Every structure is written in structure tokens, then in C-alpha cells.
Amino acid sequence: MIKENPLPKKIKRQNSSLILENVSISYQQNLAVRNVFLKIPKKRVTALIGPSGCGKSTVLRSINRMNDLIVGCSLKGRVLFEGTDIYSPKIDPVEVRRRIGMVFQQPNPFPKSIYENIAFGAKINGFNGDMDFLVEESLRKAAVWEECKDKLNESGYSLSGGQQQRLCIARTIAVKPDVILMDEPCSALDPISTLKIEETIHELKKNFTIIIVTHNMQQALRVSDYTAFFNAEKDEDNMGGKVGYLVEFNLTKEIFNSPVQALTKDYVTGKFG
């Protein structure tokens, strides 16, 4: 089995927003993901796919230092964001999260009004422009303006699940990050809401670098330009626990049409996972 990661040569350093260099992540003593090399291109959509438990969320959360919130989670290697190692001790994780926003699997609006949901992030990030305009702009970009415009002062929970998720996307956009991370943003949603969110993602990639974790192969094919396929295997050094690793990273159409690794082929054709 070939263990080296074939990197798409086409992505130049300057064109990449994020570079993962030999990243390994552990929870307490247990290695969860090992030796990931990735170059995430700017203003493109990159999908992370792979079977459950292979560490997609773990990798995603390491990109904006969300893993800092989990006691005992540690990272080796380097994560470069526009050339800066975000794990260097000089870095302020709060600033990192301002530049790299996150949308979660479960819609999680704040228990505040729709308007406040959007305005909160902008306010704490020192925004002092026209708030009404920003709220409308963000909701429009996330394609929920029509549903929200008449009830901006109602609770975020008064929306449907799909609308809530788009509200969460709008909330992330309002902070004006460079990168948006999405962890299975559609897994709790019905097909129609899913389609709406996918359309939103298409819109967003004009301005943002997007990384999306998905279980849905069709979705990866529909929304992403690049795809990274992860897998997990038994690791003897790790007390027999499973460790995730990157199998293959390439243009999405390459991954689905002519994958290099046999494992990738098996996965995208549905033979396992």
C-alpha cells in the first residue's frame, strides 16, 4: 500500500490559503489523525470526505483552533494560514477564529433575535458601520433574507432547521472571515434545504475559501472543486486504536473519475464506508 500523499502539483503556494504540513492530532494519549499534508486553494471549495471516525472533523477544527476548547487535544506539525503558522505561540487563537469562521453540523443560533444573531459577531469584532446594511447583506449572501426580512426581531429559533443553518452561515459571513469551515452543514436538513445551502456555497466561493466536510458523495461532487479523502486504519503503535490519515487529495473530478489510490476508488464507488 502506498502511503505517501499525492499532492496536486497545480496548487501553487501563493494560491493556497491554508497549508497543513505534517499535521498529527491527538486526544489525550490517543492519536486521532496522523501526518496530513494539504494545500487548500484560495476562493475554492474543498471537500473532506471519508468514513465515520477518520478524523475529518478533527482536521477541520484544527484549522481555526477550535480544538483548543477540547481539554487534552494536541497538535503536531504546522498549519499555515497565508504563510503564518497559526499554532506558533505568538498567535492569538481568537484572531485566528475571526479570520477563519466555522459553521457546525447542528444549526446553533444564539438564543437572541435574528438581527442580534448577525450583529453580535460583527459588534464584538469592532464593526462600526451601518449594522442594518450588514445584517441585510449577510442574510442575502446566505440566501435567507427573504425568509427573515419580516421577522428580524424574532428569536433565531423561530426559523426552520434549514433556515437556522443559513442564519448560522450568515452570522459567520457577517464577521467577514477569509475562510469558512463547514462541518456537515446539511446533515440535519431535508433535501430542499440542502439544495439551498449548496446554492449558497456556490455563491460564497466568489469571496471566501470554503472547506466542507460531508458524508454525501453527491454533495462533494456538486459543490467542491477539490476533494480530500481520509481513511482510518488500525495502528499498532496506538494501542490498536484507529488512526485517520489522508489517502488522496486532488481535483474533485479526478478523485471521482480517475482516483490514483484503489482505496479511494472503492470509497467513491460505495464499496465501503
Partner 1 sequence: MKDRVQLLHTAKQLNYKTFSRKNILEKLQTAIAFCLLIISIIPITFILVYVLIKGGTQLSIDIITQLPEPPGDDLLSAGGIGNSIIGTIIVTTIASVISVPIGIGGGIYLAEYSSGGLFSRFIRFGTNVLAGVPSIIAGVFIYGIIVSTKLIYGSNYSALAGSLALSILMLPTIIKTTDEGLKLVSDDLRRGALGIGASKFITITRITLPAAFSTIATGILLSVARAAGETAPLIFTALFSFYWPQGNEILLEPIASLSVLIYNFALEPYEAQNELAWAASFILVMMLLALNIIARRIGKLTMDNKSN
Partner 2 sequence: MASMVAIVLIGILAFIFYGSLESMARFGFKYLITSGWNPVSDEYGAFTAIYGTIITSLAALTISLPIGIATAIFITEDILPRKVNEFIGLMVELLAAIPSVVLGLWAIFVMEPFLRPFLILLNQTFSWLPFFGTEPRGPGMAPAIIILSIMILPIITSISRDSLNQVPKKLREASYGIGATRWTTIFHIILPAAISGITGGALLALGRAMGETMAVTMVIGNSFNFSWSLLAPGNTISAMLANQFGEADGSQISSLMYAALILMILTLSVNIFANWLVKRISLKY
- In the complex, the smallest distance separating the C-beta of residue 53 from ligand ATP, rounded to whole angstroms, is 4
- 3-class secondary structure, 146: helix
Of the pair 10, 123, the CB lying nearest partner 2 is at 123
Q: Which helix (H) or strand (E) holds 109?
A: none
Instruction: Please say whether the beta carbons of 63 and 18 come within 8 A.
Output: yes
The answer to whether 14 contacts partner 1 (rule: CB under 8 A) is yes
Is 92 buried (19+), middle (13-18) or exposed (0-12) by CB count in 10 A?
exposed
The answer to whether 96 contacts partner 1 (rule: CB under 8 A) is yes
Q: Tell me phi and psi for residue 271, to 5 degrees.
A: -75, -25
The answer to whether 56 contacts ligand ATP (rule: CB under 6 A) is yes
The answer to whether 55 contacts ligand ATP (rule: CB under 6 A) is yes
At 104, list the grid cell: 457546525
40, 57, 74, 228, 257 from 264: Cα distances, Å: 19, 19, 28, 10, 10
Of the pair 109, 259, the CB lying nearest partner 2 is at 109
x/- mask, partner 2, residues 230-269, rule CB under 8 A, reads ----------------------------------------
- Member of 21, 68, 82, 147 binding partner 1 (CB under 8 A): 82
Residue 229 touches which of partner 1, Mg ion, partner 2, none (CB < 5 to 8 A by kind)? Answer: none
The answer to whether 86 contacts partner 1 (rule: CB under 8 A) is yes
- Member of 81, 104, 208, 245 binding partner 2 (CB under 8 A): 104
Residue partners of 73: CB distance under 8 A and separation at least 6: 25, 26, 27, 67
Segment lying near partner 1 (by CB under 8 A), choices 35-43, 78-86, 127-135, 150-158? 78-86
Q: How many CB atoms lie under 10 A from the CB of residue 78?
A: 15
Segment lying near partner 1 (by CB under 8 A), choices 30-38, 88-96, 139-147, 167-175? 88-96
Q: What is the DSSP string of 161-202?
A: HHHHHHHHHHHHHHT--SEEEEESTTTTS-HHHHHHHHHHHH
List residues binding Mg ion (CB under 5 A).
57
List residues binding partner 2 (CB under 8 A).
64, 66, 69, 71, 94-95, 97-99, 101-104, 106, 108-111, 120-121, 124-125, 168, 171-172, 175, 177
List residues binding ligand ATP (CB under 6 A).
27, 32, 52-58, 70, 242, 244
